[in-house]
Amino acid sequence: MVQAKANGVDGMALALMEARAAAARGEVPVGAVVLREGVVLASAGNRTLELKDPTAHAEMLALRLACEEIGSERLIGCDLYVTLEPCPMCAAAISFSRIRRLYFGAGDPKGGAVENGVRLYASPTCHHAPEVYGGLSESEAAGMLREFFRAKRS
């Protein structure tokens, strides 16, 4: 079983809270949290609509905040928890930031780039591949996304 907690901090529970907050703002419900040694360095939810920025995915925002917090572009020894499998942009940023472990909730057959799509970390040109653990709180994360898009369609 994959360890979902780091020193008692449940990174996926915090990421799910960020996803719920994103949904409440009308954003696609994706949340992300960066932890190092059980300490939350950063957390964020999607803000692409609010910021009018196509790069304002939860992962990108959390990575930026964590880098600011520690004063480095490298997040050595840090773990990222995200509610949805990262897209190619986010997967590349995770690689470049040297995240140690990536934990994600729901897989993304259409837009994912870790276990689906381009499978960036399996590419021979990938600079750094984190340890990857998918499926944490998958049903809750996927259900939140399904409900959000169902409501958008009606």
pTM to 2 decimal places: 0.94
Domain count along the chain:
1
Q: Give pLDDT tens digits for 73-111.
A: 999 999 999 999 999 999 999 999 999 999 999 999 999
Residue 6 in any domain: the answer is no
Q: What is the mean pLDDT of the chain?
A: 95
pLDDT in tens, 131-153: 999 999 999 999 999 999 999 89
Residue pair 40/9 in contact (Cβ under 8 Å)? The answer is: yes
Residue 94 within a domain = yes
Tell me the residue range of the domain where 50 lies: 17-108+119-140
In contact, 58 and 19? CB cutoff 8 Å: yes
Length of the chain, please?
Answer: 154
pLDDT range class, residue 40, cuts 50, 70, 90: very high
Catalytic residues, which ones?
A: 59
Q: 90 labelled as ligand-binding?
A: yes
3-state secondary structure 60-127: HHHHHHHHHHHCCCCCCCEEEEEEECCCHHHHHHHHHHCCCEEEEEECCCCCCCCCCCCCHHHCCCCC
pLDDT of res. 86? 98
Longest C-alpha distance within the chain, in Å?
45
Please indicate, yes or no, if residue 46 is contained in any of the structural domains: yes
CATH number at residue 96: 3.40.140.10
Please check if 127 is assigned to a binding site. Answer: no
* Location of structure tokens 């960036």: 120
